[in-house]
Structure 1
Amino acid sequence: MVRYDGKYHYHYELGDGSKATQDGVLKQVDALHDGEAIEGRYAFIADDGQEYAVSYTADENGYRPVGAHLPTPPPTPNLLSKHCNT
């Protein structure tokens, strides 16, 4: 349920160990577009018996998940980084 101020929250846990929580707010991205800013977390128990958790942010800049099991891009070499920023 969205509150009068445009914010919302939900949380659930299931019997299989899955769980999720999310907080969000409706916002105006620009003069023509409305959107949401969301922060949340979900977790589940995989077939290997381990819990996998993901925290995320989603807004006008995209979906940005973070989790120990998620791949990350390699660091940008300094030479390439300097060239791209000029």
Structure 2
Amino acid sequence: MRILVLVAVVAVASAAPQGGRDAQILRYENENIGVDGYKFSFETSDPITRQETGELTNAGTDNEAIIVRGEYSYVGPDGKSHTVTFVADENGYRPSVKTARK
């Protein structure tokens, strides 16, 4: 299950546009909750934002899983703002995409 979540997180990261190489990190927050989960967020100057939380559920059972929830936003080559909200858990990776008008 952990491998599935890791694959989903890598897929999300690689799906986001690879903006300008000169972008600066404006904000970064990381809260390591330990074995029970994590939480992080960041914002860059190009502008890309991302926030994500991971939570361990059913610890110590056969149904132990990590539930990952998050969102990332970026301005695409079309000049529109794109926001992807997602959940990755025992039911797979489920994204929802919103695109704002120019």
TM-score of the superposed pair, with normalisation by structure 2: 0.57
Work out which of the residue numbers 47, 50, 58 in structure 2 matches 1:17: 47
SS in 2 for 1:37: strand
Identity of aligned residues (%): 26
The runs of at least 4 consecutive aligned structure 1 residues that moved more than 6 Å come to: none
Work out which of the residue numbers 20, 35, 38 in structure 1 matches 2:68: 38
1:28 CA drift (Å):
3.9
Take 1:28 and 1:2, find their aligned partners in 2: how far apart are those partners? 19
Structure 2 alignment gaps of length 5 or more: 1-30
TM-score of the superposed pair, with normalisation by structure 1: 0.66
Structure 1 alignment gaps of length 5 or more: 70-86
Which fold has the larger relative contact order, with Cα–Cα distance below 8 Å and residues 6 or more apart in sequence? 2
Q: Which has the higher helix share?
A: 2
Structure with bigger gyration radius:
1
